[in-house]
Every structure is written in C-alpha cells, then in structure tokens.
Amino acid sequence: MELWNTAPPVILGYEDEAETLLNRLVGGPKELDIVPIVGMSGLGKTTLATKLYSHETVIQHYDVRSWCCISQVYDRKEVLLKIWRGLGMLNTAKKENDHTELADELRNFLKGKRYLIVVDDLWSVDAWDDLRTIFPDDNKGSRLVLITRLDEVACYASTNPHHLRNLTEDESWELLQKIVFVDQERCPDELEVIGNEIATSCSGLPLAIVLISGLLTRREKEEDYWKEIALNLSTNLFHDVKWLMEVIELSYNDLPHHLRPCFLYFGTFSEDAQIPVHKLIQSWICEGFIPYNELKSMDHVATDYLMDLVGRNLVMFAKTSYYLRRPQLIGVHDLLHQFCMVKATEEIHLRRFRGSQTYNYDHYPQFATDMPSRLVVDHSDDFIKCEGIHSLRFTYYTCLNSTKLFEDSFEAFKLLTVLDLEKVNVGNSFPYRIVFLICLRYLEISGDFEEIPLDISCLVNLETMIVHSNPIEVCTKLPNTIWDLVNLRHLEVYGWFPDFDEISQLEKLRNCYGFLIYLSRDMPIIANGLSNVVNLKCTIGDLDYDSDDDEDDAYDWDDSRFCEPIFQSLDRLESLSFKIDTQCAPLRRAIGFPSSLKRLELLLFPFGEPLRSLSTIGELPNLEIFNIYSCFFYTSKWDVKDGEFPKLKVLKIFLMDDIEWNVSANAFPSLQQICLSYCRNLEIPSSFGCLNSLNLLDVHCCCKYSTEGDNRTTEESAMKIKEIQIEEMANFDFKLIISENDERDDYLLTF
C-alpha cells in the first residue's frame, strides 16, 4: 500500500463560522485582538482554525504566522520553542536558551510586524497570563487565536469569544455520507433511515461522526451492523467527553489484535506531537510490533498497518505534501491520545513521568508482576532510575549532561531496546556508555558530534540509528565499524568517512540518509556497502579537485576511475536524493541511474555535455517523481524527446531561469502534475496543453522577485496551457494555481 495514495481529509460544515472568524482575522481593529474559539472536545475547533490559518487571504494578510500547541502541563520554554519552530527560526542555539531569553527575542522579533499566533488547547488562566506579556501591540492588526475547551479561559482572555456550535443534523448526515460513501454518489435507500439515526446520535460532534464512519467503512454495508452501531450510540443520553471515550473504545475494540499495540504506541509521544512517518514506522519495527513477512519488507508491512489505522480515522496526517498527498507527519486527536495513554498502561506496560521522580519497584509491590517496560519522560530535572525498562523516550526539549544521563543511571538501562533522545541535546560528545547497551535496536540522539566512537560496533542488534545535528556547524566523522552493524536497516546521520580499509555489505540496510561521499575515493561505499539500499539521500563531493589546476588537466575523462557511472549498480534503489558539492567545478564522473528508480531529487546538479544526464533520466522506465532544485544547464536548453519520461507523474522544478524548454508531443505520457517555483522567464512548452493526463499546473513565485524588465513569460504560458486543456481538450478537471505565497514549503526538497 503506497503512502501517497491517500485522500485529503473531509472538511464539511461551519462555512458560516469560518466566514465570521475570517472577517475578524483580516478585518477589525488595528489593535492586537484576542480571538478565542471555545467548545467541547471533538467539536472541530482545531480543524476550523487550521482551515483559517491556511486560507490564502490570511496568509497574504500577515507578515509572519506561527501555530503552537500547549499540553495540560504548561511549560513556558516548550511553548516558546514551538512558536519559534512555527516561524521557521528554531535552531540549536535557541534550544539552549532559557525561557526569559526566548521570550525577549520573540517579543523583539514581532515588534513592528503584523503577526498571527494560534495557541491550541489552552487549559488555564495562569498560562494565558504568562503568555500574554510576550506579544507586543504595535497597532498593526495582529491577532492571537486561542483554542480552548474552557469557557472560563475564553471569557477571561476576551470579552468576545467565539463559541463554536455543533453541526446540524443535516450537516452531520452529509459528513457521514462523504466519509463512508467516498466512491459512491449517495447512500443506498435501505441504509438511509438508520444512517440518519446514527448521524443524529453523534449530537453534531465531528469527532464522533469521523470515528463512527471509520467503523462503518471497514465492514460491508449491511443494515444489521448499522443497527448495532446505532444501538450502541443511543445507550448514553449524556454526550460528553466520557461518551466520546466510549466511542473511541468502540473503535479500539473493532481493531484486529495486531493493530492495537501500534495504535496505543501513539501514547508514548506528547499529546500534540506531529510524528515523522518514517520515525513511527521504524519505532514500531524495533518495538517488535511488526512481524516478519517473506513477501514484503517490514517497512511495507508497517506502512500497511499505518494506512489501516488511517482508514479507520483513528490517526490523521498532520502534514502532507501537496503533491500526490505524500504524508510526512502524523498524529492523533488529543482525546484519542488520552485514550492511548490510559489503555497503554495496561496493554503495552507504559508509564509516564512528570516532574522530578525516581521509580523504585521495591516501594510499589502492585507492579511486581506488571513492571512497566516503556517509560516516557515528560518533564524532569533529574533523570529517572527505572530498572528493567525496554523503551525510553523524552518528549520535551532539554539539555542534559551526558555523564549525568548515562553514568549515574547506567544500571537502569541494560535492557533498553529503544532509546529516543531526539529532544535531549547531549552536546558535541557522543555519550560513550551507549555502546554498552547491547540490546539496543533503535537509537535516536541529538548533538553536534565531531565523531562517533569506533565501539559503536558493539551495538550488534541495532536496526535504526538517527543522529540529529546542525549540518552547517558539523559534519560528523564516521567510523568504518559502522559497516559491522549487520542488522542495521535505517541509518540517518550527516557524516563522512575519513578513511577505510574494507567495506562490508550491510545486507539489511534499506534507508540511508546523510552521507557525504567523495567520488574519487568512496566508490566502494556505493558499490558494496549500499548495494541493497532502497532509499538513499546523500551529498556528492570530490576530494581531488584543485581549483588552481588547469581544467583540462584536472578533468581527465579517460581516467579509469571515472568510467563507471555512479549509482548504476544499485539495482534495488527506488528513491534517490542527492546534491552536488564539488567546489563549483564540473562533475568529473558520469551519472548513471538504475532502472528501478521511482523517485529522483537533484540539487545543484550540472546538466549538459559531457554528461548528457537528462536523456539518461528521461529513459528511466519506472520514474514517477522527478524534482529539480537549483540545477544549472551548460547549454541553456532542455529538449525532451518522444517517449522520454514514460511513467513520470510529478515534475517539480525550483529555480530554473532563462532555459529554452522544448517538449515533443509524445513525451511525458503519464504526467499528472507540474510545479514550477521561482522560475523566472521560463516558457512552459505549449505541448503540455494537449496532455490528456495532466490535471494540475502550479506556478509558484515565478514573478515575485523578477527584476525590472523581466516579463511574465511563465504565467502567460501557463494561462495558455489552461486555455488549451479546457477549451480544446475539454479537460474540466484541470487546475491552474498561480501563487506568490512565500510561506509554502511543499515545493522544497528534503536536503
């Protein structure tokens, strides 16, 4: 099951509410206005606010925007870091600042700007009093949107809170039909009466409707089953949070047993977490939730599990790429998260700690036969000592001395299989005691490490290793002993190998992100160590280039070292992202790509003679996604011939100026979407107008930074293609988007 074959979420109802709130956000007084949205959990407050936050009018109206979620335990520093992240300005230095410095910097940054800040799930008046002092009022028309369940908080913050109403019975029934009968025009007659009854029983709560719809979509559309659901919903007259929990329990009990621990695992993250999809999948695998399958990789099985949970409306994509709906981040509603935390305590032995605590089983005999095996640390100044723990995760940003973290409490960690320190910055020295945690299968850690110790090879069971660092500050020196980690499947680290004697094949390695590879020396890494990799992201450099050399002498195209095209031998590779870093020199090795490739992203890539690389790429038989980011052409011309790019569905081009682009009539026969970003004076070939498969042309910021004298070639050629598609081809589903919104990030590559 492909992750990018997902439909966008159904948003229905509240059109009148959205219009009222939109007017408050882009109209009204010049003074800073507080706009609380209040209502019970599951009413759709966050969904409505998200719709407004991403509205084009709102985006254009404000200088800067940010969205932050607040947990029930208020942590000022955590909230400030989330605001900085939303502004796109969170870095390592800010994570190390205290809350006073973060607040002062934020206040100064916002001064003189028209800003929009959304504070999601505000729980207390005290938290609001603390936050309110941070935001300046410069009469610029700034707005603070507060989302809360509590009337007390909403009325305290503003004399004009917006009380969100429940959906009407008609809106409830329409929403249920939209989800359950997504492939049909309407509900069958025999189910209409009982379906209306089910929708009405949800009392206008969108969350209840979505969860019940998830149940109905997983079964055959049979009247008896629908009557059973209606009966379960009607037994409780008080449709409050407790009733919603019973609805969640109903959905949970319908899960097959293999999905239950995967769903409950969301309780190990913070309640507002937006979890990278690859992190969730690798965590499930290392926790032992995903069984071995002879026909599918464990990643594919885990993906199937995830999509099953999505289909049941129990989890949701928090961020999805605009193109092909490829999900990047995933999360759960706060009520479902609360359910997961409670249920996981008994089902997967989860415990959470807040504050400074030490756990000692000698003092808790009730846990003698039910010891928690998974520990989540929400807030703690001192580290928790907890014997027998198999899984440990920190959910808040902190800086801990690695000696304090591992030396003082090492005895408690001997059985760890999963260690998630993403939010714990341990500095620039890799904690050496980690290498003695020989049971580790999953390691995620943050720090600007100069090097990783040779003894990392002691972690013989390690399957996933993720190192978060600042690539601008440091490129970690990697030991050759990494190649001894024979069970490694997922490796993510920005680093390089200073030398090596022999490279062992990592037969299980499927995902590798971050290597800096020098072409003239590191070819064994590609040819041997990465031979089974499916997803690869790397930087290509060249140690031998000397900018003072004569160009003809420096680039001997007959040198045998440069004859074999790189990447050609990786016959299992499906996704490749790489950038070129050769000191602005021409690339000395031919680029070849395996026929298995489905997704290709290129940054700073040199197209043209003597490489002829675009023709090579165009001949790839399975390529579906091709992204070009700030590449350059020696010939200032790109000719696409008949039959090239036979299966390509998505083409994204970023920063390509003044290129003559010619496309023959029989090229790109499967192309569905084109995105052009910051491409000035690029005329889009008119042959795209006759392409039957094309349904989207997105022209983004192609005129915004044009200098005087530049024309609007890109936009004008896009309008011509739209005219041909609709008037001549009768393709009424074709969509043209012309946007100058700088805040969109879906066009960016992932380097």
Q: Are residues 157 and 263 in the same domain?
A: no
What CATH number is associated with residue 319?
A: 1.10.10
**Residue 542 and residue 544: Cα distance in Å, rounded?**
6
The larger pLDDT score, comparing residue 672 to residue 54, is at 672
Residue 179 lies in a domain: yes
Mean pLDDT check: name the lowest of 305-319, 368-382, 407-421, 445-459: 368-382
Residue 201 lies in a domain: yes
The answer on pLDDT for 745 being more than 70 is: no
Mean pLDDT check: name the lowest of 17-26, 64-73, 199-208, 494-503: 494-503
| Residue 54 pLDDT grade (very low, low, confident, very high; cuts 50, 70, 90) | confident
Residue 515 lies in a domain: no
Question: pLDDT tens digit string along 710-719?
Answer: 557 888 899 9
Mean pLDDT check: name the lowest of 389-398, 519-528, 618-627: 519-528
Mean pLDDT value of segment 61-72: 89
The answer on pLDDT for 220 being more than 70 is: yes
Please say whether the beta carbons of 459 and 443 come within 8 A.
Answer: yes
Q: Are residues 225 and 288 in the same domain?
A: no
Q: Are residues 180 and 88 in the same domain?
A: no
Residue 681 lies in a domain: yes
Question: pLDDT tens digit string along 352-379?
Answer: 876 544 444 343 333 333 566 888 887 7
The answer on pLDDT for 67 being more than 70 is: yes
Please say whether the beta carbons of 375 and 353 come within 8 A.
Answer: yes
Q: Are residues 222 and 284 in the same domain?
A: no
Domain span at 88:
15-163
Question: pLDDT tens digit string along 536-573?
Answer: 998 887 644 444 444 444 444 444 444 456 788 888 99
Mean pLDDT value of segment 282-306: 93
Q: What is the 3-state secondary structure (H, E, C) of 533-598?
A: CCEEEEEEECCCCCCCCCHHHHCCCCCHHHCCCECCCCCCCCEEEEEEECCCCCCCCCECCCCCCC
Look at residues 342, 361, 391 and tell me which one is the last residue of a structural domain: 342
**What domain count does the chain have?**
4
The answer on pLDDT for 140 being more than 50 is: yes
Residue 60 lies in a domain: yes
Q: Are residues 250 and 262 in the same domain?
A: no
Q: Are residues 158 and 92 in the same domain?
A: yes
Which residue's entry shows tokens 């190998």?
Answer: 497
Q: Which of 513, 580, 512 is nearest to 542 (CA)?
A: 580
| Residue 320 pLDDT grade (very low, low, confident, very high; cuts 50, 70, 90) | low
Question: pLDDT tens digit string along 89-104?
Answer: 877 667 777 888 999 9
Question: pLDDT tens digit string along 503-512?
Answer: 777 889 999 9
Token pair in block for residue 481? 């002993």
Residue 584 lies in a domain: no
- Helix or strand holding residue 247 (H, E): helix 241-253
Residue 233 lies in a domain: yes
pLDDT of residue 561: 46
| DSSP helix, strand, coil percent of the chain (3-state; round to 5) | 35, 20, 45
Q: Are residues 143 and 185 in the same domain?
A: no
What CATH number is associated with residue 54?
A: 3.40.50.300
Burial class (CB in 10 A: 0-12, 13-18, 19+), 636: exposed
Q: Are residues 205 and 333 in the same domain?
A: no
The answer on pLDDT for 426 being more than 90 is: no
pLDDT of residue 416: 92
Token pair in block for residue 709? 């004298």
Q: Are residues 158 and 49 in the same domain?
A: yes
**Residue 717 and residue 124: Cα distance in Å, rounded?**
54
| Residue 309 pLDDT grade (very low, low, confident, very high; cuts 50, 70, 90) | very high
Mean pLDDT value of segment 235-248: 77
Token pair in block for residue 49? 């606010």
Sign of CA dihedral 387, 388, 394, 395: negative
pLDDT of residue 432: 87
Residue 289 lies in a domain: yes
Q: Are residues 132 and 241 in the same domain?
A: no
The larger pLDDT score, comparing residue 56 to residue 113, is at 113
pLDDT of residue 743: 54
pTM of the model: 0.83
Mean pLDDT of the chain: 82
Look at residues 235, 254, 273 and tell me which one is the last residue of a structural domain: 254
Please say whether the beta carbons of 601 and 577 come within 8 A.
Answer: yes
**Residue 175 and residue 44: Cα distance in Å, rounded?**
13
Q: Are residues 198 and 153 in the same domain?
A: no
Best-predicted range by mean pLDDT among 25-39, 214-228, 460-474? Answer: 25-39
Look at residues 225, 254, 283 and tell me which one is the last residue of a structural domain: 254
The larger pLDDT score, comparing residue 261 to residue 189, is at 261
In angstroms, what CA-CA distances link 534 with 280, 292, 373, 453, 571? 18, 18, 32, 27, 9
Q: What is the 3-state secondary structure (H, E, C) of 620-656?
A: CCCCCEEEEECCEECCCEEEECCCCCCCCCEEEEECC
Question: pLDDT tens digit string along 71-81?
Answer: 777 888 889 99
**Residue 596 and residue 562: Cα distance in Å, rounded?**
23
Mean pLDDT value of segment 264-283: 92
pLDDT of residue 256: 94
Q: What percent of the chain has pLDDT over 70?
A: 80
Q: Are residues 138 and 80 in the same domain?
A: yes
